[in-house]
Chains A and B, each alone.
Chain A
């Protein structure tokens, strides 16, 4: 079955620690996205990648970093610079990105909690 997988489902971060959230897709999509979801705030874009080895900052990129070394994978690192990381993180992909007409396909999410 084609789809997007995210791991882990729950992740705990200690003070000053960097943590990495995994996102893998087998839909052969070019574009991938990371969103942060907080209660009552909807989804906010962290990073976006339209092609391998290229990515752009979204609205709330501070304290986060990403890489896109493979088409299938778009990991997100939450660095110690992100002072309020507790949230639900969603990864998504779409066929090509750009144009504004594409459906985004979402993974099941990772809930990050701070110890």
Chain B
């Protein structure tokens, strides 16, 4: 069965510093990958997704992620974070032909002034 691992439960970073949030998934022939953001007491919002094609995916709010098939990873990056990026970030994966999306346990990003 498909699975997703977000090893970092919390990541503190200073404002204007770069950040990388890690996501690894279990191997699959055909897989689709997503990053969602959740602000406190709100629902999730899509940041970006990888379906096929270029392995570097750009999303909203200056975030990007790189699909690495050999390392089964889909890490999220931002070159310079803002206080407003403080939120919880979820990586999700789905298989071709399925309705089911598997979510990671989330990484809480805390941007410090």
By a beta-carbon cutoff of 8 Å, the part of chain A in contact with chain B is: 4, 6, 31, 35, 40-45, 48, 50, 56, 58, 90, 92, 97-101, 103-109, 111
Contacts and interface: CB of A to CB of B under 8 A. Distances in A.
B51 A50 contact: no
B90 A42 contact: yes
Contact of A97 (B9, B42, B49, B99): B99
29 contacts: A6-B43, A40-B9, A40-B105, A41-B105, A43-B90, A44-B103, A45-B101, A48-B100, A58-B100, A92-B43, A97-B99, A98-B99, A99-B96, A99-B97, A99-B98, A100-B95, A100-B96, A100-B97, A100-B98, A100-B99, A101-B32, A103-B34, A103-B49, A104-B101, A105-B46, A106-B44, A108-B43, A109-B41, A111-B41
Interface string B1-43: 0000000010000000000000000000000101010000111
Contact of A98 (B9, B51, B98): B98
B61 interface: no
Given A100-B94, A100-B95, A4 B43 contact: yes
A74 B106 CA distance: 26
A92 B43 CA distance: 9
Contacts, number: 67
Contacts of B95: 100
- Give the size range of B's interface with the partner: 20 to 34
Binding site of A, secondary structure by majority: helix, strand, loop or mixed?
A: strand
B105 A106 contact: no
